[in-house]
Amino acid sequence: MPTTINTQAKEQSKSNGQAKRNGEPTSELMELFEEQLKDILWAEKALIKAIPKMISLATSEELILSLTDHLKETREQVTRLARVFKSIDKKPSTKKCDAMEGLIEEATEMMKDCEKGPKCDAGIIAAAQKIEHYEIATYGTLRQFAETLGLREAEKLLKEILKEEKEADQKLTEVAVEEVNPEAASEEK
């Protein structure tokens, strides 16, 4: 009966976003939210290992500084993500993020053949910004999911991380435009 179906649909949509007390997901969006959280937690942990390699090859002091700051932020983001899991009554867990694995692999490959200097710095910035943009996309989606799901605490935490990622990306653009790219352009091959 159409009336019954409509009523069921309304009940279903009313329950969307409300985490049950036992922590079981109550909607498909909630399930997706949790999967994406696991994915980005894996990615952040992988970055904690990858960023120091970038720092060790970088020569621009500004670049070293911004990567070092972001490494610290990344560690804090892992802690914040644990709080997001807690806010939905879940234990933090990870799921391998193929996209981040690929981005890190690409960065590693580039760094393998790079000689320290402006060109290498420019390559590191390019790789780091690809990573930042992936993170910005993910946190933007996660924040929006949290808002739709009515998960206030999670939304607040994800918004904070998203802001940091955008600022890190902006900082890298500044280092590239103001220092590294012009230097690489003036280096003779």
Q: Are 74 and 49 in contact (CB under 8 A)?
A: no
CB of 73 to Fe ion, least distance (A): 7
Structure tokens at 47: 């970055």
CB of 160 to Fe ion, least distance (A): 11
CB of 14 to Fe ion, least distance (A): 34
CA Rg, the chain, in Å? 20
What is the per-residue binding string for Fe ion in 123-142, x denoting contact by CB under 5 A? Answer: ------------x-------
Site for Fe ion in 54-93 (CB under 5 A): 74, 77
Q: Is 56 exposed, middle or buried (0-12, 13-18, 19+ CB in 10 A)?
A: exposed
CB of 87 to Fe ion, least distance (A): 18
Beta carbon nearer to Fe ion, 66 or 77: 77
Q: DSSP string spanning 150-171? A: T-HHHHHHHHHHHHHHHHHHHH
Q: Which residues bind Fe ion (CB under 5 A)?
A: 74, 77, 135
